[in-house]
């Protein structure tokens, strides 16, 4: 891997290798074993969108790996005054060992990778959220012992989370059923990519408007906020259209009895999920949040210390 931009890019083997490394790094932290693999390395963190989990996990991750993270708000650097992505990428490549960017337009990430000479990590765009899904896969494997052959149901908005879950599930051979209202369906190109991958890994990709069909016999039930950052003006309309997709006890009863519930956070109880579910015994949301740290550290090691054999 040269960059980490989309989960459609790595091979299934590379994804599983990242998960194995994430597990190793997590075990090291729990055992108090330091691993300064990135000593002397510096990661720039460009934020056009605010964040809790992304900023804290990347800063702490670089610290634990012996490196340094530099927070760069888009308003604090010349991007906020109109400097081109191309110029920014080339300048940053002279200073930094890698860049993580959390932004709106997916093209900004692609352009950083195109014009820069250092690894680029997609911390979130309006199209994809691969770091979150890598942590999700780690969490599922921890709780279920495997990935291949499981079924995930995603209910709600066909947003960046849905797209990256499609890519990630298909790559590791996990069946995925995505249920959204017709007017909020996933990006068609991303669906086609996931279906093409699924033919190679044996996964099934189901796209439907029926949340009850999607969740039937699911091992993993996933949802996300109905109103993503920058879409606040759409809230009233979305609340009307998404009511049937709320993950509640009635819908969870259609999943397998040992199904786990996942949410990338932040969550809005009473909208996309009820408190009974997200705060109940099937919820693993805080394991997910923790694993952002470990999964992203694995990405950092693979990109910034590619010769590391641990």
In a domain, 232, yes or no: yes
Distances (CA, A) of 49 to 44, 46, 162, 180: 15, 9, 19, 25
Give the confidence band of 234 by pLDDT, cuts at 50, 70, 90.
confident
- Is 293 found in the same domain as 163? no
Domain CATH number, residue 167: 3.40.50.1370
Same structural domain for residues 293 and 159?
Answer: no
Examine the domain organization and report whether 218 and 104 are in the same domain: no
Report if residue 30 sits inside a domain: yes
Among the options 141, 167, 263, 292, which is catalytic? 292
Q: Which of 3, 53, 129, 294 is catalytic?
A: 129
Q: Do residues 211 and 248 share a domain?
A: yes
- Total number of domains in the chain: 2
Catalytic residue among 102, 106, 141, 263: 102
Active-site residue, 224 included: yes
Residues 87, 72 within the same domain: yes
The yes-or-no answer on residue 129 being catalytic is yes
Residues 111-127: tens digit of each pLDDT: 999 999 999 999 999 99
- State pLDDT tens for residues 151-180: 999 999 999 999 999 999 999 999 999 999
Known catalytic membership, residue 102: yes
Exposure string over 45-73, b if 16+ CB within 10 A, otherwise e: bbbbbeeebbbebbbebbebbebbbeebe
Q: Looking at the domain assignment, is residue 254 inside a domain?
A: yes
Catalytic residue among 97, 136, 167, 264: 264
Q: Is the pLDDT of residue 231 over 80?
A: no
* Residue (of 154, 103, 150) closest to 128 by Cα position: 103
Which residues span the domain enclosing 169? Answer: 133-286
Cβ(284)–Cβ(261) under 8 Å? yes
Same domain flag for 211 and 158: yes
pTM exceeds 0.95 for this model: yes
Q: Is 111 a catalytic residue?
A: no
């Amino acid at each position: 891997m040269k960059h980490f931009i989309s989960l459609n890019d790595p091979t299934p083997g590379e994804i599983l290798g990242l998960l194995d490394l994430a597990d190793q790094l997590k075990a090291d932290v729990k055992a108090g074993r330091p691993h300064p693999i990135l000593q002397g390395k510096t990661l720039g963190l460009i934020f056009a969108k605010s964040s809790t989990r992304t900023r804290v996990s990347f800063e702490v991750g670089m610290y634990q790996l012996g490196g340094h993270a530099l927070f760069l708000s888009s308003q604090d650097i010349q991007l906020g005054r109109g400097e081109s992505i191309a110029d920014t990428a080339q300048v940053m490549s002279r200073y930094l060992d890698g860049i993580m960017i959390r932004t709106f337009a997916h093209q900004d990430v692609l352009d950083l990778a195109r014009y820069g000479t250092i690894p680029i990590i997609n911390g979130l765009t309006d199209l994809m959220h691969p770091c979150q899904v890598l942590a999700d896969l780690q969490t599922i494997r921890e709780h279920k012992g495997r990935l291949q052959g499981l079924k995930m149901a995603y209910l709600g908005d066909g947003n960046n989370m849905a797209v990256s879950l499609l890519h990630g599930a298909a790559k590791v051979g996990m069946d995925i059923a995505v249920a959204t209202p017709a007017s909020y369906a996933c990006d068609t190109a991303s669906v086609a990519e996931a279906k093409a991958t699924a033919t190679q890994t044996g996964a099934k990709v189901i796209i439907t408007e029926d949340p009850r069909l999607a969740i039937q016999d699911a091992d993993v039930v996933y949802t996300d906020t109905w109103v993503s950052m920058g879409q606040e003006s759409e809230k009233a309309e979305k609340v009307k259209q998404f009511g049937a997709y709320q993950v509640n006890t009635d819908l969870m009863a259609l999943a397998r009895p040992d199904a786990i519930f996942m949410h990338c956070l932040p969550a809005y109880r009473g909208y996309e999920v009820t408190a009974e579910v997200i705060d109940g015994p099937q919820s693993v949301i805080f394991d997910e949040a923790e694993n952002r740290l470990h999964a992203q550290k694995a990405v950092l090691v693979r990109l910034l210390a590619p010769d590391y054999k641990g």
